[in-house]
Amino acid sequence: MAMHERAGQPAQAQDLTNIAQLVSAYFVNDVDPRQRAQQVQFGTSGHRGCSLQHSFNEAHILAISQALVAYREEQGITGPLLLGRDTHALSEAAYMTALEVFIGNGIEVHIQTDDGYTPTPVISHAILKYNKGRKQGLADGVVITPSHNPPTDGGFKYNPPHGGPADSDATKVIEKYANALLSSELMGVNAVSYAEARSSRLLKQVDWRASYIADLGNAINMDAIRDAKLRIGVDAMGGAGASYWHEIAKQYDLQLDVFHTEVDPSFRFMTLDKDGKIRMDCSSPYAMASLVALKDDYDVAFGNDPDYDRHGIVTRAHGLMNPNHYLAVAIDYLCQHREWATDIAIGKTLVSSAMIDRVVAAHQRPLKEMPVGFKWFAEGLHQSRLAFAGEESAGATFLARDGQAWTTDKDGILLALLAAEITAVTGRDLGAYYQDLCAQHGTSYYQRHDVASSAELNQAFAGIRAYKLKVTELAGDDVVEISTKASGNGALIGGVKVTTANGWFAARPSGTEPIYKIYCESFVSAAHLEELSTQAQALVLEWLS
């Protein structure tokens, strides 16, 4: 993908979304359920779309919410539904619609006190806390967010009683019900007016913010951060957790400077991402440019995307850390500073760095390599079979200090505060920490290519069979494994992974864009990585055609 000439520079007036037009389109634009692009489609992180493109409109949320009501009834889920949203403009509109349907169907709905915004991990934490010790009347939740996507987008995620993202079995049912409702012109949708929903006795306000912040000491060594008197910088990115940081600083006596706490659905304070779009991606050095510019002022700094399920870590010596590098550091540190049972595994996605494999092996812990999507980790975290779970796109969580589940969804606040804990306890720059891991385990050279594709070409990935691929050598090394299934659970990965002794590549289609992604890693050199990448791209194109 070509770099935009203003990547990393402040957004200008012409870059901003017309919020009034966007929200009006949500309520006004009709949906044609015969067109695939306008149907409900659950990807790895729920249903996402844009009202201007007729893919995230009032009809979609009416249908999805009613379908979820039916799914809850089928599954015998009778407890309250915890409803949160982030600060995207369409999240506000969809939140109102969903509330009208849930209350209209007689469901008890919990929302944040003061009608505040709620990060994804806080909903997960609250579900686990509510359900602890219960065998019936279990709670589940919905977070209305498109994560780090541009201001034009909306999203709807469902978290069942285990607290993490719903698996494919659940989302396929909800998707099917929702599209049937769209095709029947929403016959069967029960909804009340928004005013009636707000005044209903079924609507309960709960202070999840205070509860989550009070519990942080159970997962993070907050005393160590306080005692080290670290200077910490935070880019709140105008997201759902923006109001949390001052409360965290006050409660735990931390020295935090917090930027961009204002809620502005145009996100005009952002610097442009690599493609020239406003995208609140805390793993992008272009989107994080304003915080990276301040790196010398702080011992450690970090930012989060709008729903706070991702983290971006900035150090004085190394700037914005590569997400894979930070995952390796976090795992190495936690294996030494948490008294978790040694048979509890570490989870990673199959496209995350193999440096993690080497770190986990050094600590003699089992490793579970899963397909892309945090839903694959939820049950393992819930049952404390996984101590840590992370993915290369800067999302992770881990168990509390007592070995119990903290969240079963990605937690950007947790991973940000862990960066502060590691800095405080070790006294080291996290970038230097990673360089020490390279000295122990070898230097990783990693990259990802996004290749322009089509729906038809992406569907061709489903036809790839490992036993049919006759590849014996890759970039000068013997191929040791070709797989279309994840080793951690045997589930299909939606693509293919080829592994040698010194590197690997994986290819998979995007679930939300007309592209496919090729991930490559070498433990030899940058030149070897380029050779591996060139061969990988040629092989994938051959297999798809």
Q: What is the pLDDT of residue 529?
A: 98
Other CB atoms within a 10 A radius of the CB of residue 124 amount to 32
**17 pLDDT above the threshold of 90:** yes
**369 pLDDT above the threshold of 70:** yes
Alpha-carbon radius of gyration of the chain: 23
Closest C-alpha to 160, from 152, 168, 170: 170
Other CB atoms within a 10 A radius of the CB of residue 247 amount to 14
**What residue type is assigned to position 317 of the chain?**
A
**512 pLDDT above the threshold of 80:** no
- Mean pLDDT for 128-133 is 98
Q: Residue 312: left if φ>0, alpha if ψ -120 to 50, beta else—which one?
A: beta
Q: How far is CA 1 from CA 273, 456, 504, in A?
A: 12, 21, 22
Q: What is the pLDDT of residue 545?
A: 82
DSSP symbols for 465-498:
-GGG----EETTEEEEEEEEE-TTT--EEEEEEE
- Mean pLDDT for 187-192 is 98
- Mean pLDDT for 377-389 is 98
- Mean pLDDT for 8-19 is 98
Q: What is the pLDDT of residue 230?
A: 98
Q: What is the pLDDT of residue 1?
A: 58
326/391 Cα distance (integer angstroms):
11
Burial of 217: CB neighbours in 10 Å, binned 0-12, 13-18, 19+:
middle
506/519 Cα distance (integer angstroms):
5
Contact 110, 206 (CB under 8 A): yes
CA angle 523, 505, 439 (to 5 degrees): 15
Contact 351, 508 (CB under 8 A): yes
424/224 Cα distance (integer angstroms):
6
Instruction: Tell me, yes or no, if the pTM score tops 0.95.
Output: yes
**184 pLDDT above the threshold of 80:** yes
Question: Which tens digits make up the pLDDT trace of 40-56?
Answer: 999 888 999 999 999 99
- Taking all residues of the chain, what is their mean pLDDT, rounded to a whole number? 96
**355 pLDDT above the threshold of 70:** yes
Instruction: Report the share of the chain in percent with pLDDT over 70.
Output: 99
Residues assigned a catalytic role: 147
Question: Which tens digits make up the pLDDT trace of 304-325?
Answer: 999 999 999 999 999 999 999 9
Contact 327, 434 (CB under 8 A): no
Q: What is the pLDDT of residue 455?
A: 82
